Structure 1
């Protein structure tokens, strides 16, 4: 059987494979962190079922989380511009982990509300992640 005289054309590289390694690290980290969002629906059940608080107190815990989630991105964006995106993201991710651990250990309604606010506040660092993905070269402030 004769050998082919031409070399077969290589398959085109899909666009996703052309993205740099740091992009994929960010995407993997973001996906892992966002998987922690499964605790949010249980913020209203946990205080009532396990801690025997009233439904009104459980609602206030959810409101505290929502208030933190509302304010967090604004503060994260401000700090990203002042101290750098990477530093802001590291602080936000570490603080989210600590806040979630504290939330699982506290029992009082004020402590639950404070920890829920902290989780919501640090959890929503999405603007910083989006900025790092769109312009990874400008990760440090000028």
Structure 2
């Protein structure tokens, strides 16, 4: 199965059902918010979002079972633009994990010298997207942004 289309593919909005606690994800929201165009096939897009949801849900498992609420929306949180900040952060984590995964896999498609140079320039962007996703997870869990490196 091909995961890359040379020409943009017409994308329809699809709802990816979650586990009941965490919110469902709309494929179109992901595309619009992360600037993913139609060169990513619908199958690849859905697969990537499913995997990102699994990763984020697993990262939040211990936190989730400690909540008295039945859904993330019911967990007490600040409201931003009429929406729970936890819902916003959850979507950000999923979208960042999915976007980083797509960038990592799609940067090697053009194997020309120019393509290799472009791939090298994308590495910092990939790291930043992974970081943003991890920060969203930390905020949901009530943790601070700590980055520690050995020198």
Q: Which structure features the higher share of helix residues?
A: 1
Q: TM-score, normalised by structure 2?
A: 0.33
Whose radius of gyration is greater, 1 or 2?
A: 1
- Return the structure number with greater strand share: 2
Q: TM-score, normalised by structure 1?
A: 0.34
Where relative contact order (Cα < 8 A, 6+ residues apart) is larger, the structure is 1
